[in-house]
């Protein structure tokens, strides 16, 4: 889909949440100021005050069964925007993101995009992670969900939405999109929490991520990977 008028294309930002009271306000605040943008928080059954906080900020809050893929698909189903942005609750968008996204999707041949990643910690090891993410994203056109993936709603529908998988849904979606057209990576970063790297260690987290991808490519089912993932008590953020 080539957007006919980048100035009038409506953007729907979809944020899946589960017990994100410590992060949701910063994520929502990062969506403002903006032009012709709606924010949809899809809560998967939080037992903290995530939903109350989101409602107090004037955004749309809906409930869903838990699971990032199903939550994002639920949000997309009610979105009124021409463009969808999938934002993790612990990630913050850069100022002017709305104009950047509209401009990025305007050229023919661009089907989707994402931002480069900045991790909110001074740890030197995370600079290496950021470098690796940037290299992977640009070279292979393979951004992950914490980079605020965006695409037109028509492209999202064309690839069949996020697959109903307990893990790896962003990886599969992006690979489907790559077969249709080009994915652009904006050189302006989103900023995300370091929590999943610091909880188990930067090196271990990075290795575990690679093992998960290799296992999936070798044909291990997402359900089996997810069971292993949970046994490792490796928090999926």
- Which H or E run includes 177? helix 169-178
What pLDDT score was predicted for residue 6? 63
Architecture of the domain spanning 11-231: Alpha-Beta Complex (3.90)
Calpha distance 44→64 (Å, rounded): 5
What pLDDT score was predicted for residue 209? 86
Q: Which residues, in sequence order, are CB contacts of 159 under 8 Å at separation 6+?
A: 173, 176, 177, 180
Kindly report the CA angle at 129 between 125 and 133, in degrees rounded to 5?
Answer: 170
Tokens representing 67 are 């699971």
Query: What stretches in the chain show pLDDT beneath 70?
Result: 1-7, 229-237
Give tens-digit pLDDT for 209-233: 889 999 989 999 888 888 776 666 4
What pLDDT score was predicted for residue 4? 56
What pLDDT score was predicted for residue 44? 97
């Amino acid at each position: 889909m080539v957007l006919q008028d980048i100035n009038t294309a409506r953007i729907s930002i979809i944020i899946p949440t589960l017990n994100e009271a410590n992060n949701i306000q910063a994520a929502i605040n990062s969506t403002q100021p903006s032009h012709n943008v709606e924010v949809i928080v899809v809560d998967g059954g939080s037992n903290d005050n995530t939903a109350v906080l989101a409602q107090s900020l004037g955004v749309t809050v809906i409930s869903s069964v838990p699971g990032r893929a199903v939550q994002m698909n639920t949000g997309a189903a009610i979105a009124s925007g021409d463009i969808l942005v999938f934002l993790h609750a612990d990630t913050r968008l850069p100022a002017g993101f709305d104009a950047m996204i509209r401009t990025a999707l305007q050229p023919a041949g661009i089907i989707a995009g994402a931002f480069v990643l900045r991790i909110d910690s001074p740890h030197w090891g995370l600079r290496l992670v950021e470098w690796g993410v940037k290299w992977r994203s640009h070279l292979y056109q393979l951004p992950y969900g914490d980079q605020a993936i965006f695409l037109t709603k028509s492209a999202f529908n064309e690839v069949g939405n996020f697959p109903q998988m307990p893990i790896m849904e962003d990886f599969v979606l992006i690979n489907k999109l790559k077969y249709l057209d080009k994915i652009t990576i904006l050189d302006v970063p989103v900023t995300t929490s370091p929590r999943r790297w610091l909880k188990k260690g930067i090196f271990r987290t990075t290795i575990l991520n690679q093992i998960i991808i290799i296992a999936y490519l070798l044909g291990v089912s997402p359900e089996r990977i997810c069971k292993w993932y949970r046994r490792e008590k490796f928090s999926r953020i």
